[in-house]
Chain A
Amino acid sequence: AQSVAQPEDQVNVAEGNPLTVKCTYSVSGNPYLFWYVQYPNRGLQFLLKYITGDNLVKGSYGFEAEFNKSQTSFHLKKPSALVSDSALYFCAYGQNFVFGPGTRLSVLP
């Protein structure tokens, strides 16, 4: 069965430090992978996606993600975290609409 895992429920990072939100996948076929962000009382917003090509994908708000086929991972990264990045982040597999459980990111001032 296709699945997406986010091993951390919560990630805390100090403002200005780099952040990583982890995602691993188990899918057959092409790994169409997405990251979405959800701010309080809002719907999800698209950050970036990997379909094919360059393993390093750049997205909105300074975020990027690295697709690693050998480790079946698609971790979300940002070089310098902002307090305003605090939100719930979802990794998703696009082929059959599977979302991970979400990781709550808290950026501390």
Chain B
Amino acid sequence: EAQVTQNPRYLITVTGKKLTVTCSQNMNHEYMSWYRQDPGLGLRQIYYSMNVEVTDKGDVPEGYKVSRKEKRNFPLILESPSPNQTSLYFCASSIRTARDEQFFGPGTRLTVL
């Protein structure tokens, strides 16, 4: 089944404790992206990747890191999480660009205490 998977689905952590949210797609898509969803703000893009070893900042990249060492994986790293990063996070992929249909993962709900 074609899908985007994220882990973990739920995470509660404390300020300053490094964490990684994994994202993987099995559709051989070139484009991958991370979003955060906050009430009333819709989805805001954090980082995106056009292909392996190519990443770029979205609208809200501060406090986040990403890597794209393999085509299928695009982990999101929070080196020192803070409470304002409490949010619902989505990974997405598309065949080539953001102009193509995006497939979204199920989401990761992160709480930073």
Interface residues of A (CB under 8 A from B): 9, 32, 34, 36, 41-46, 49, 51, 90, 92, 94-97, 99-102
In contact, A42 and B106 (Cβ under 8 angstroms): yes
Closest chain A CB from B32 CB (angstroms): 12
B43 beta carbon closer than 8 Å to chain A: yes
Please indicate the chain A residues that have their CB under 8 angstroms from the CB of B4 in the complex: 43
Contact of B98 among A36, A96, A101 (CB under 8 A): A96
Q: How far is the CA of A22 from the CA of B35 in the complex (A)?
A: 23
Closest chain A CB from B23 CB (angstroms): 11
Instruction: Enumerate 24 A-B pairs (CB-CB under 8 Å) in ascending A order.
Output: A9-B40, A32-B99, A34-B102, A36-B102, A41-B107, A43-B4, A43-B92, A43-B106, A44-B43, A44-B104, A94-B98, A94-B99, A94-B100, A95-B99, A96-B98, A97-B33, A97-B45, A97-B58, A97-B59, A97-B98, A99-B35, A99-B42, A99-B43, A99-B44
What interface size band does chain B fall in? 20 to 34
Q: How far is the CA of A82 from the CA of B8 in the complex (A)?
A: 33
B74 beta carbon closer than 8 Å to chain A: no
Closest chain A CB from B27 CB (angstroms): 13
Please indicate the chain B residues that have their CB under 8 angstroms from the CB of A49 in the complex: 101
Known: A43-B104, A96-B98, A97-B59. 11 other contacts (CB 8 A): A36-B104, A43-B90, A43-B106, A44-B104, A46-B103, A51-B99, A94-B100, A95-B98, A97-B98, A99-B42, A101-B40
In contact, B99 and A102 (Cβ under 8 angstroms): no
In contact, A46 and B102 (Cβ under 8 angstroms): yes
Q: How far is the CA of A95 from the CA of B98 in the complex (A)?
A: 6
Please indicate the chain B residues that have their CB under 8 angstroms from the CB of A32 in the complex: 99
Q: How far is the CA of A49 from the CA of B99 in the complex (A)?
A: 9
Q: How far is the CA of A90 from the CA of B48 in the complex (A)?
A: 19
